[in-house]
Structure 1
Amino acid sequence: MRVKDLVVLVGVIGIILMMVVPVPIWLLDVLLIINISVALVIILVGMNTTHALQFSIFPSLLLITTLFRLALNVSTTRNILAHANAGSVVTTFGSFVAQGNIVVGFVVFIILVLVQFIVITKGSERVAEVAARFTLDAMPGKQMAIDADLNAGLINEQQAKERRENIAKEADFYGAMDGASKFVKGDAIAGIIILIINILGGLIIGVTMKGMDIAEAGERYSIMTIGDGLVSQIPALLISTAAGLIVTRASSDGNLAHDLTAQIFSYPKLLYIVAGTITLLGIFTPIHLITTLPIAALLAFAAYKMQQSVVRQQAQEDMLEEEQQIEEVRSPESVISLLQVDPIEFEFGYGLIPLADTQQGGDLLDRIILIRRQCALELGIVVPVIRIRDNIQLKPNEYVIKIKGNTVARGELLLNHYLAMSPGIDDDSIAGIDTLEPAFGLPALWIDEVMKERAELSGYTVVDPPSVVATHLTEVIKKYAHELLGRQETKALIENVKESYPALVDELIPGVLSTGDIQKVLVKLLREKISVRDLVTILETLADYATYTKDHEILTEYVRQALSRQITQQFAASGDSLKVITVGPTLEKRIAESVQQSDQGSYLALDPSSTQLIYQRVTDQVSKLIQAGQPPIVLTSPTIRMYLRQLLERTMQDIPVLSYSELEPNVEIQSMGVVNL
């Protein structure tokens, strides 16, 4: 057995013997001082713990110290009643508190006992009881959280074992505290009973056995009783307070002093308010400024020092953050972050910063939110977040739009001007700076505020710079929407449909088609500016025909035919006749004969001269339709539509190519030209 184990055993046995064996007065004084010292050590340790398990021995220590105090109470009571002398420590405490007035001493002692019994002990008991209950209730959830972290690979088996042990220890600790608090309550009750015994027993023994008169006996025994009560109740009060501190403090990274200064004094401006209130209290009340002004000055000085400390701490944190960023840049792993490419970027010169600065009235961010909503309604896809940043390498009034890191469009704005587009008949009185409308490439003018009203009266379309940017960005997104739809985005769209149509999705994916197959079909639709918002119809069509063919081109044609109503409304929304360029029989026959089959699918194999001739004939017809003020649309038979589209998209990407099966029967078709070979 080690020496410290032997000391603890001997100490506990000695405490028990003190209740039976008389203790010399000099030894009793030493033990009383030790009792006070132990209580101070316990409360200081309780204040400096950051977690309850750091002082897990406290419930047992609480029981031993309570037993030690009771043994001291028995010994002092024995000396008070037997010898009318309890030692210098007890007498000193009693005389110092009483100050020659027994009534004052008793009042102080009774207040101390009431505080100990009603406030500290009762509160600690209740907190320990509630903490034990909630700890036990939370154990299953904590265990499941540990298992989840272990399964996710966030912790290893050893860490999981340590956490489980800590949870069990925590439950045992609060359960033990719940029981140990009852000892503190019983100790306070015993102190009150011993007080009564000392007073009554002392009076009886002093008068009947010691030959004292009642006044002398009352004064002498009262002083010793008060001293005995204080010597035992003060350490009890300290230990009870320590118990309350331990069970009421949540886990933190610092001790009690650190948490107090960090949390209570983290609002310097509030101390100024308190200082001002204390000053006004001294001015407008009978309390003199001599009393309030020093305290107010001290509070104001403390607030000033705390503000300086906050500024210094913020500067240090900024410096550390900057150094950390520099280290991250220097580290080899920092290169990985440079590989990330934003789907859409909008960069602008420093002269266009007011567009995005809300403090200067810029509403570009709000417009982008509306653009994403508009694209979701018109295209049926979720447009990724648009990255907005200024670029000093651009001209002051220039902006560029990037798709996956590559510039696809650019333009220039004059913030203090308006963009005016002619209705077809120019007004020479409208003066401005010649330019091109960036979204559609139409000729336009930048005009000032003075010319705005005159241009509107002349029939010009006048828009402000933010609207120009919003229109340009919208058209770019529509044009390159097929590049923004990847497999991950397609999966998100399918998951959204699955919430309402689980049977459809389960039948199609992954047994019939994969997510990548569906993505290819959607991309082909978006490339021709066909909305995929009606995803249910698209998936239903794919489920019907994918069992016969896996060719994405053919599946896309089936989907287009299923979306005939949508396509018809898109190109003939006004209900008028649809003016188109039709493909003649000779061209249809030539294309049909040039279709070749391979393992990867079918493709169009035309000689260069025939291809050039087809381009020339289609271009001639398109030019005639544009001159007539009509949007060009090419109409052909369903069998060759996709091959003609493949041929024309290399030079005429924006010209729609439709088939008769994609239009509703009630639409009147008016041929404005025929393309033949």
Structure 2
Amino acid sequence: MSNSPAPLGNVVATAVLASVAMLIIPLPPPVLDVLLAFDIMFATAVLVVALSIQDPLELAAFPSLLLVTTLFRLSLDVSATRLILTQGDVPGGVGAVIPAFGAFVMRGDVVVGMLLFIILIVVQLVVVTNGAQRVAEVAARFTLDAMPGKQMAIDADLHTGLIDASQARARRRAVQAEADFYGAMDGAGKFVRGDAIAAIVIVMVNVVAGMAIGVIGKHLDLPTALQTYPLLSIGNALATTLPAFLLSTAMGIMVTRAASDASLGVDLIRQMFAHPAALRTVGVTMIVMACVPGLPHLVFGALGTVTLVTATTALRSQRRVERDRSAQEADRQRAHEHRPEYAIGFLGIDPLRIDVGERLLPMLEQPAAGVLLERIALVRRRVALDLGIVVPGVHVKDDLSLPPSTFAIRVRDRVVAHGDVHPDRALALGTPRALSQLAGESTVEPASGLSGVWLAPDQATQPHNGALTVDPIAVLTSLLDRVVRRNAAALLGRQEVQSLLDNLKQAQPAAVKGVVPEMASLGLVQRVLQHVVRERVSVRDIAAIVETIADEAENTRDVCIIGEAVRRRLAPAICAALAASDNVIRAAALSMTLESSMAAALVSGERGPVLGLAPADAAALAERLLAFERREGSHAVVVCSQSLRLALARFIEALGGTTAVLGFAEVVPGYTVNIAETISTEK
């Protein structure tokens, strides 16, 4: 029973009832002194608590407290008024507190006391109470507006398992308590405002009525009445207005206090001394003001000196804390580096990366870096449109182990291409005759293999007949474009495939529903797409590809079989990419003897059928194919029977060639094949 809150509740209820009773029952002067002193003590305690708490909800009973203290103070005013009017002329008739306040503050001058009272009331009513009331109104509105969002956030945390049910209930109660608190504070400001107005009325009543009663009723002479009743009235007003001012200040602190991990005093000191440079400026300003004629030099000089010393001490302390923090961070980093799992952070690789040598570092600085990033984005966008794949981001970094003017392009951390550029020069490309007339460093353009000349900076902007000039960033991004297209299969990871499927699911939900992963896993779809893009065939028609995979997956999981079926489904697009404007595909064909020997040499491999030719025959075939590719360039096409197509394509890929291999079954109506050459290994 001793732990029950009921006795405390009874004490509060008794105090409220006693306050009401004081409106009717006269109080003895000693009791009035005790209650006035208690009022000042309690208001001071509330102000100190308001300064000490970290969260306004720690004093959630403050709005009710304002009502109770306002009622108590008005009861004291009524009791004091009764004593002043009935026995104000009797020594000790109103106790000791009220006369002491009047004598100490007024110093025997009624006008001074009245002016001090008016100033105190104006500050309390106009400045503190009005501002606190407006802040409470805005805080209540914002808190109520934020309630739905906070409730949804709590529900989301509960559903995701970040908190349990008991924590969710506690958070909901806190949100509701915050809304109730600021809503109540919005109305509690009216109590403080009304208390200040009532104090003005009570002072006027005490002065006027006291003078009338003293002169007319008690036959006091006018000087005695002027010395008695205004003194007691203003003393009473000051004795009750002081705690009211303390409570209104506490109210202002409560409504302007944001939740923090420290009290208001700690926060103020911490935040003020967090900027020693500002304090140093203040100190210098005070010392300058000390030099102004007429101002108290000692006062301003002393304050300026103290401020400068404080700022210097704070700055040293701040630097010491930063050094300690840096040392602790270094210790933690060293301890972290000694942990076995620290090495895991170095195991990841970039899908696509460009390393640059020391002389190319200016290309990583603005404005060249902006141009480089824009060109890289253009390459990614162009490849995405041509091949239909999502090209991963390109990481550009310095590598001082490279030759100074060299850049290297890595795919999955493997160097697949490199070249040399000069960031301050332009590259001229053209015929040997045109280049022979140019002064500069001869080179070979890494993407196209064309001859070129690096022009001096003063020649870069001059016209050159018969030669095309390109900037070094264009040289780098041209090679990047070639690398991305040739390594599209290696860059097409599961994450990129999932992005393609997610995009298809949004546009055509039925095309994906029931297919991935029910009929075909994400890995199978990835390998089929890699099979197709390995030969630079666009997979933009992802819906048709998924449908074909679904049809073929019912009978087989062989990637080569499914991939060739996808190629046949995409045959119109393949023919369109290989044909000229007249829908004619210029190609080379295999001789009947060569095709028969190749068919007989087909063997099964891990990546599908391969050509098991004798070394001499394989070398002869490679020579013929590469010679044809050199003559035709990037438009070289070879047609063959469908059974040989994949094996021949893999053979050319192993040679590093780019010749497209087209099966006769992939030539759709509307397109014709013009056999420009027959390839044979016979001498």
TM-score, length of structure 1 as denominator length: 0.84
Aligned position for 1:580: 587
CA distance in 2, matches of 1:404, 1:303: 57
C-alpha spacing 1:113/1:347, structure 2 compared with 1 (3 Å): same
The one-character-per-residue Cα deviations of 1:261-292 (angstroms, maximum 9, x if unpaired) are 66678778888999999999999xxx978489
Alignment match of 2:678 (pick from 660, 673, 677): 673
Change (3 A) 1:135 1:568: same
* 1:555 counterpart residue number: 562
Counterparts in 2 of 1:400 and 1:321: CA distance versus 1, 3 Å? farther
Residues 91 and 15 (structure 1 numbering): CA distance in 2 closer, same or farther, change over 3 Å?
Answer: farther
Partner AA of 2:87 in structure 1: H
Determine the structure 1 residue equivalent to 2:264. 256
Is it true that 1:143 corresponds to 2:148 in the alignment? no
Aligned equivalent of 2:508: 501
The residue identity in structure 1 corresponding to 2:37 is: I
Q: Residues 571-610 of structure 1 correspond to what in structure 2 (within 5 A)?
A: 571-572=578-579, 575=582, 578-592=585-599, 603-604=608-609, 606-609=611-614
Secondary structure of the 1:623 match is helix
Selected match of 2:538 from 531, 536, 540: 531
AA in 1 matched with 2:235 = G
Contact 1:346 1:389 in 2 (8 A): yes
8 Å Cα contact 1:35-1:69 kept in structure 2: yes
In the other structure, the counterpart of 1:203 is 211
Q: Report the 3-state secondary structure (helix = DSSP H, G, I; strand = E; otherwise coil) of the residue aligned with 1:499.
A: helix
- Per the alignment, residue 483 of structure 2 pairs with 476
**Equivalent in the alignment of 2:360:** 352
Shift of 1:534: 3.4
Q: CA–CA distance in 2 between the matches of 1:11 and 1:511?
A: 70
Contact 2:610 2:651 in 1 (8 A): no
Q: Does structure 2 retain, via aligned residues, the 8 Å contact 1:487–1:516? A: yes
Residues 25-57 of structure 1 show CA distances to partners (whole Å, capped at 9, x for unaligned) of: 455434433322322222232133221222223
The within-5 A match list for 1:181-330 is 181-260=189-268, 290=295, 318=326, 320-330=328-338
- Which of 379, 398, 404 is the aligned partner of 1:396? 404
Identify the match of residue 78 of structure 1 among 58, 63, 82: 82
In the TM superposition, what whole-angstrom CA distance separates every residue of 1:231-252 from its partner, at most 9, and x where no partner exists? 1112112212212321332323
Task: Return 52-61 or 546-555, whichever deviates more.
Answer: 546-555
CA shift in 2, pair 1:10/1:497, >3 Å: closer
Deviation of 1:354 after TM superposition, in Å, equals 0.6
- Which residue in 2 is equivalent to 1:52? 56
What is the distance in 2 between the residues matched to 1:144 and 1:584?
73
Q: Distance in 2 between matches of 1:49 and 1:299?
A: 30
Is 1:522 matched up with 2:529?
A: yes
Say if 1:419 and 1:445, in contact at 8 Å, map to a contact too. Answer: yes
Which of 416, 429, 435 is the matching residue for 1:408? 416
Q: Deviations over 1:594-644 (max 9, x none)?
A: 66789x9x94365442x7514523522431452476743211233432232
Q: Cα distance, 1:355 vs. partner?
A: 1.0
Would you say the 8 A contact 1:617–1:676 is kept in 2?
yes
Distance 1:298 1:539 in 2: 80
Does the 8 Å CA contact 1:349/1:397 hold for their aligned counterparts? yes
> Alignment partner of 1:211: what SS?
coil
Mean Cα displacement is larger for which, 321-330 or 51-60?
321-330
> What residue number does 1:613 align with?
617
Kept in 1, the 8 Å contact 2:560–2:608? The answer is no
Question: How many angstroms apart in 2 are the aligned matches of 1:3 and 1:93?
Answer: 41
Preserved contact between residue 575 and residue 671 of structure 2 (Cα < 8 Å): no
Q: Kindly provide the amino acid, as one letter, of the partner of residue 563 in structure 2.
A: T
Residue aligned with 1:341, SS: coil
- The answer on whether the counterparts of 2:609 and 2:647 sit within 8 Å (CA) in structure 1 is yes
- 1:396-454 CA-partner distances (Å, limit 9, x unpaired): 32332222222222333333444344525575454544544333445544442466579
Instruction: Measure the CA separation in 1 of the matches of 2:116 and 2:225.
Output: 21
Shift of 1:221: 1.1
CA distance in 1, matches of 2:459, 2:415: 34
| CA offsets 1:32-83 (integer angstroms, 9 cap, x no match) | 3332232222223213322122222323433443343234323322332232
1:340 aligns with 2:348: yes
* Aligned-residue offset at 1:154: 2.3
Alpha carbons of 1:442 and 1:303: their partners in 2 closer, same or farther (altered >3 Å)? farther
Kept in 2: contact 1:417–1:449 (CA 8 A) = yes
**Whole-angstrom distance in 1 between the partners of 2:601 and 2:621:** 18
Paired residues of 2:407 and 2:419 also in contact (CA < 8 A): yes
Give 1:356 deviation, angstroms: 0.4
Which secondary structure does the structure 2 equivalent of 1:640 belong to?
A: helix
CA distance in 2 between counterparts of 1:280 and 1:448 reads 60
Q: 1:437 maps to which residue?
A: 445
**Seq. identity, %:** 37
Query: Paired residue for 1:366?
Result: 374
Give 1:89's match in structure 2, choosing from 60, 75, 97: 97
2:392 paired residue number: 384
What is the rounded CA distance, in whole Å, between the counterparts of 2:237 and 2:173 in structure 1?
42
- Partner SS, residue 201 of structure 1: helix
Which of 629, 643, 647 is 2:647 aligned to? 643
1:38 aligns with 2:42: yes
Matched residue count: 670
1:387 Cα deviation from its structure 2 partner: 1.8
Whole-Å separation in 2 of the counterparts to 1:630 and 1:108: 97
> What is the distance in 2 between the residues matched to 1:95 and 1:507?
94
Q: What are structure 2's unaligned runs of at least 5 residues?
A: none
Letter in 1 for 2:674: I
Within 2, Cα distance between the matches of 1:476 and 1:48?
Answer: 66
| Preserved contact between residue 284 and residue 308 of structure 2 (Cα < 8 Å) | no
Unaligned runs of 5+ in 1: none
Q: Which amino acid aligns with 2:577?
A: Q
Q: Is the 8 A contact 1:421 1:461 kept in 2?
A: yes
User: Alpha carbons of 1:605 and 1:7: their partners in 2 closer, same or farther (altered >3 Å)?
Assistant: closer
SS, match of residue 162 in structure 2: coil
TM-score (norm. length: structure 2) = 0.83
Contact 1:354 1:360 in 2 (8 A): yes
Match of 2:65 in 1: 61
Alignment partners' CA distance in 2, 1:450 and 1:192: 88
In structure 2, C-alpha distance between the alignment counterparts of 1:359 and 1:631, rounded to whole Å: 37
8 Å CA contact 2:442, 2:453 repeated in 1: yes
2: CA distance between counterparts of 1:135 and 1:146? Answer: 16
Secondary structure of the equivalent of 2:391? coil
CA contact (8 A) 1:95 1:223 kept: yes
Matches of 1:175 and 1:218 in 2, distance apart?
Answer: 46
Deviates more, 1:117-126 or 1:381-390: 117-126
Q: Which moved more, 1:435-444 or 1:43-52?
A: 435-444
Query: How far 1:174 sits from its partner (Å)?
Result: 3.6
Closer/same/farther in 2, CA of residues 213 and 2 from structure 1, 3 Å limit: farther
- Verify the 8 A CA contact 1:42 1:242 in the aligned structure 2: yes
Q: Which deviates further from its counterpart, 486-495 or 466-475?
A: 466-475
Contact 2:610 2:650 in 1 (8 A): no
Give yes or no for contact 1:348–1:391 (8 Å, CA) kept in 2.
yes
Return closer, same or farther for 1:157/1:319 CA change in 2, 3 Å cut-off.
farther
Over the aligned positions, Cα root-mean-square deviation in angstroms equals: 4.2
Contact 2:609–2:646, Cα closer than 8 Å, also in 1: no
636-645 or 622-631, larger mean C-alpha shift: 622-631
CA 1:454–1:177 in 2, change beyond 3 Å: closer, same or farther?
Answer: closer
